[in-house]
């Protein structure tokens, strides 16, 4: 804060933001932690979208300025979607309070910049989903309390209710790009993705976008907006190893050629999902049973139902909910229950399906490969950065590599010129260390060989020396995890991990 200049710039590998320095109140926020939270959140988005975890340039570069750059919120480098009154000092704590509801617009525009693929009509709906990726997958915020985009009164259950009481429930949703559109800027426009994550986890969506990336590299372009509905239904269900059609049907996405799609499901042996079956049973209880129940639902999402509802547009939002509250009754509730039951019967004609025992799809497309070449660990595939652990048992060294997405591969090899003598327990301290460590050999004497490996198994240094009680060893750059492998003239050895901070 004692540096000259009116601006403060914060930068990590994925994120950079600029704010007026006067917005910073010393001690109000942990500026290092909030920057780390931004980095973690965006890495979560990168992972689910199957993008480079550590990019060549920032994925999100944001500034606070007097006015937004365009006539509407937009993508950009930097994104200028955060207006700030410079006469209001210190003003709002944009960005430095960490990612959260203040930043939904920037995540929405980032969704556009990511060019994520979509069903028809989802251009202004699915782009809200990176906010969920960032907050839930990245930062671990509970899915059920963190639902993106205004009004934030919608949660996962109320989104289902909204879809079921919609004008088109049971048939194709309205994607007319008019005021009656049932998808754009709305939770019900991407609620099916939220349901997939809630029921099956994030891996099905990651698999789907990863496979699209592989296909694109191999000359198969599925497109970005307005993808072929049948192809996308099949590919998303394949990535989940579960039949997602019941969810899609509820949310107004129906196959164009249901017979051909069913034939593809049979050929690919895609199983029905018991979790989705149970969830559809829960949907029945989310349907308002009469006018009072509907009003209670409507007021929970639009507290201004009776103040703004009568004058707002009857096509959407609070105005639509107000108009529906005037006509909704128990008869309509039973009609909608019947539609939902017909969807359940269509996809589950035999009732509850058998349990799918192959639900772990997280590493379905992982190609992580580990090999040892000339005593150097070579890791290919998977998603960098990797976490590497090395364990030595006798003359067998086991190397385990876990990639950013949690996929694992292990390789074992025989350490040359090592006997089966007892492993030597040496002391290396301090650990973690800043620049230098001391290796405590105690009463061991004679020639020793010290090999230092980095966290991906590359040999960094090797030297021979005569053991004394303590030997100083300077660690290389950069900071990180290193592995000492020390062998003695009689065949004994020691392996120790050291952290340079």
How high is the pLDDT of residue 121? Answer: 96
Q: Output 325-334 pairs: Cβ under 8 A, ≥24 positions apart.
A: 325/291, 325/294, 325/295, 325/298, 328/165, 328/288, 328/290, 328/291, 328/294, 329/290, 329/291, 330/289, 330/290, 330/291, 333/287, 333/288, 333/289, 333/290, 333/293, 333/294
Quote the pLDDT of residue 149.
56
Q: Which residues pair with 389 in a beta bridge?
A: 400
Q: What are the pLDDT digits (tens) for 232-261?
A: 999 999 999 999 999 999 999 999 999 999
**So what's the pLDDT on residue 442?**
76
The DSSP string of 31-55 is HHHHHHHHHHHHHHHHHHTT--SS-
> What is the reported pLDDT for 419?
38
Task: Give residues with Cβ within 8 angstroms of 45, minimum separation 6.
Answer: 51, 59, 110, 114, 130, 133, 134, 137, 138
Number of H helices, E strands in the chain: 13, 16
At 415 the pLDDT is 58
| pLDDT attached to residue 420 | 38
Condensed to tens digits (0 to 9), the pLDDT of residues 72-86 reads 888 888 888 888 887
290: β partners: none
> Could you tell me where the DSSP H helices lie in 315-410?
317-325, 330-347
Segments of the chain with pLDDT less than 70: 1-5, 145-151, 359, 372-377, 394-395, 413-425, 455-457, 491
User: So what's the pLDDT on residue 418?
Assistant: 37
CA distance 465 to 449: 7
| Longest pairwise C-alpha distance within the chain | 92
- Given a contact cutoff of 8 angstroms between Cβ atoms, the answer to whether 424 and 443 are in contact is no
**Residue 229: partners with Cβ closer than 8 Å, 6 or more residues away:** 119, 120, 253, 254, 255, 256
Phi, psi angle pair for 218, to nearest 5°: -100, 15
Q: Full-prediction pTM beyond 0.85?
A: no
CA proximity to 344, closest of 293, 273, 289, 288: 273
**15-20 and 447-454 as β-strands: parallel, antiparallel, unpaired?**
unpaired
């Amino acid at each position: 804060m004692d540096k000259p200049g009116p601006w403060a710039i914060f930068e990590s590998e994925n994120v950079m933001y600029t704010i007026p320095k006067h917005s910073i109140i010393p001690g109000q926020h942990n500026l290092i932690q909030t920057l780390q939270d931004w980095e973690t959140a965006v890495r979560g988005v990168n992972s689910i979208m199957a993008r480079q975890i550590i990019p060549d340039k920032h994925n999100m570069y944001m500034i606070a300025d007097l006015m937004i750059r365009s006539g509407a919120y937009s993508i950009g480098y930097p994104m200028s979607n955060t207006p700030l009154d410079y006469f209001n000092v210190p003003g709002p704590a944009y960005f430095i309070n960490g990612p959260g509801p203040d930043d939904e617009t920037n995540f929405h525009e980032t969704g556009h910049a990511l060019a994520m693929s979509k069903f028809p009509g989802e251009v202004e709906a699915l782009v809200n989903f990176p906010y969920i990726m960032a907050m839930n997958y990245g930062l671990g915020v509970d899915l059920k309390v963190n639902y993106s985009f205004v009004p934030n009164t919608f949660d996962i259950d109320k989104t289902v209710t909204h879809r079921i009481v919609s004008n088109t429930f049971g048939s194709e949703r309205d994607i007319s790009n008019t005021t009656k559109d049932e998808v754009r800027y709305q939770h019900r426009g991407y609620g099916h993705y939220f349901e997939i994550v809630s029921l099956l986890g994030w891996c099905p969506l990651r698999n789907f976008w990863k496979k699209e990336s592989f296909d694109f590299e191999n000359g198969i372009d599925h497109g970005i907006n307005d993808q072929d509905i049948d192809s996308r239904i099949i590919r998303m269900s394949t990535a989940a190893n579960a039949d997602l059609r019941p969810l899609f049907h509820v949310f107004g996405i129906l196959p164009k050629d249901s017979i051909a799609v069913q034939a593809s499901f049979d050929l690919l042996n895609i199983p029905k999902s018991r979790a989705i079956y149970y969830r559809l049973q829960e949907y029945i209880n989310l349907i308002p049973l009469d006018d009072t129940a509907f009003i209670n639902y409507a007021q929970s999402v639009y507290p201004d139902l009776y103040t703004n509802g009568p004058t707002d547009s009857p096509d959407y939002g609070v105005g639509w909910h107000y108009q529906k509250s005037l006509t909704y009754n128990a008869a309509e509730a039973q009609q909608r229950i019947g539609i939902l039951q017909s969807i359940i019967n269509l996809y589950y004609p035999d009732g509850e399906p058998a349990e799918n025992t192959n639900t772990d799809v997280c590493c379905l497309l992982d190609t992580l490969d580990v090999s040892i070449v000339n005593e150097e660990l070579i890791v290919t595939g998977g998603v960098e950065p990797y976490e590497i652990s090395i364990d030595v048992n006798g003359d067998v060294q086991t190397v385990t590599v876990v990639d950013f997405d949690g996929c694992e591969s292990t390789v074992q090899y025989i350490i040359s010129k090592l006997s089966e003598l007892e492993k030597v327990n040496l002391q290396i301290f301090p650990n973690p260390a800043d620049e230098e460590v001391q290796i405590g050999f105690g009463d061991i004497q004679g020639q020793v060989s010290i090999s230092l490996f980095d966290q991906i198994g590359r040999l960094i240094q090797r030297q021979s020396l005569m053991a004394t009680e303590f030997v100083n060893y300077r660690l290389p750059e950069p900071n990180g995890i290193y592995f000492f492998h020390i062998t003695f003239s009689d065949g004994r050895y020691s392996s120790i991990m050291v952290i340079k901070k």
